[in-house]
């Protein structure tokens, strides 16, 4: 990687005890998965369930314990990273590399977060699934697996686009993000089955934006000490 490529990202998330503890639990679960699991896809059933936020913060959490992390934004259709994390500089991205516009050395950036590098999605492309199915993407992942402890791949929702299923075929494991009270059991099962058809090992699911005030355990024990919580 060209270490001169650096980017400053600002995390808009406010400190939240329960959210941070949940991330630590997720980090531990990832660590205890098979040691061969290095490329991990994060997807959801619908847009706006919080998969990008979890991918970003899980990357930071893993980086903080010394793991070398690549956050790979493969949501070429609707990326949020540049705007959400206040990236001011112009950056090159995955779609530009896979379409032959730039070299692979031009798309990996060192962030201001410890041990975390990022590949941005790049401009919206008319043929995302075709680009993600390419040999160039296969070779890129294989090369990066040799350089990083974990690669977290943020994809479009598997319930809406084929892109996630395409990437799932190239991944070692998947984490499904499900928004509490927004996704039915039937829809979540369909998403799970789509991942399984791609022969991708499902590491688990994350129930996001859960209202812990409804939990008797949290409200009685933690509520008195830390106040209410609503996940993001």
Host domain of residue 194: 17-223
Q: Does residue 84 fall inside a structural domain?
A: yes
| Structural domain contains residue 8 | no
DSSP state of 230: B
Q: How far apart are CA 12 and CA 14, in angstroms?
A: 6
pLDDT at 212: 55
Identify whether the C-beta of residue 13 lies closer than 8 Å to the C-beta of residue 57: yes
CATH of the domain at 148: 3.40.50.300
Contact 87, 8 (CB under 8 A): yes
Which residue in 152, 141, 165 sits closest to 45, CA to CA? Answer: 165
11 belongs to a structural domain: no
Please report the pLDDT score of residue 178 as a whole number: 85
The pLDDT value recorded for residue 40 is 97
Task: Note the pLDDT of residue 227.
Answer: 34
Axis crossing angle, helix 51-64 with helix 17-31, rounded to the nearest 10: 70
Give the 3-state DSSP-derived string for 74-116, with helices as H, strands as E and coil as C: CCCCCCCHHHHCCCCCCCCEHHHHHCCCCCHHHCEEECCCCCE
- Angstrom distance (rounded) from CA 52 to CA 204: 16
pLDDT at res. 167: 95
Task: Determine, yes or no, domain membership for 121.
Answer: yes
Q: Which pLDDT value is given to residue 213?
A: 55
- How many domains in the chain? 1
Distance in angstroms (rounded) separating the CA atoms of residues 207 and 50: 10
Residue pair 75/94 in contact (Cβ under 8 Å)? The answer is no
116-119: strand order across its sheet: 108-110, 116-119, 69-73, 150-154, 39-44, 173-179, 202-208
pLDDT given for residue 211 in this prediction:
63
* Residues 6+ positions from 146 with CB-CB distance below 8 Å: none
Quick check: is 168 in a domain?
yes
- The pLDDT profile of the chain, 232 residues, written as one tens digit per residue, is 455 799 999 988 777 788 888 889 899 989 888 888 999 999 988 887 889 999 999 999 999 999 999 999 999 998 999 999 999 999 999 999 999 999 999 999 999 999 999 999 999 988 999 999 999 999 999 999 999 999 999 999 997 789 999 999 999 999 998 887 777 888 888 888 889 888 899 998 888 766 655 554 443 333 333 233 233 3
Domain annotation covers residue 5: no
In a domain? residue 4: no
Q: Where are the alpha helices (DSSP H) in the chain?
A: 17-31, 51-64, 81-84, 94-98, 128-132, 135-145, 163-168, 185-197, 216-217, 223-226
DSSP classification of residue 212: G
């Amino acid at each position: 990687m060209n270490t001169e490529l650096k980017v400053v990202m600002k995390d808009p998330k406010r400190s939240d005890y329960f959210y941070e503890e949940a991330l630590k639990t997720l980090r531990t679960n990832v660590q205890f998965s098979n040691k061969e699991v290095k490329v991990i896809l994060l997807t959801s059933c619908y847009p706006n369930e919080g998969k990008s936020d979890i991918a970003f913060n899980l990357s930071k959490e893993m980086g903080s314990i010394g793991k070398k992390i690549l956050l790979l934004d493969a949501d070429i259709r609707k990326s949020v990273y540049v705007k959400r994390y206040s990236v001011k500089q112009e950056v090159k991205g995955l779609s530009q590399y896979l379409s032959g516009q730039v070299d692979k050395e031009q798309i990996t950036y060192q962030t201001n977060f410890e041990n975390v590098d990022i590949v941005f999605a790049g401009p919206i492309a008319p043929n995302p699934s075709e680009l993600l199915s390419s040999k160039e993407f296969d070779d890129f992942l294989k090369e990066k697996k040799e350089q990083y402890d974990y690669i977290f791949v943020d994809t479009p929702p598997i319930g809406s686009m084929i892109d996630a299923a395409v990437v799932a075929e190239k991944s070692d494991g998947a984490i499904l993000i499900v928004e509490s009270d927004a996704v039915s059991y039937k829809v979540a099962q369909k998403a799970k089955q789509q991942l399984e058809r791609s022969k991708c090992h499902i590491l688990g699911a994350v129930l996001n934006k859960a209202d812990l005030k409804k939990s008797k355990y949290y409200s009685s024990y933690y509520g008195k000490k830390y106040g209410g919580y609503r996940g993001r």
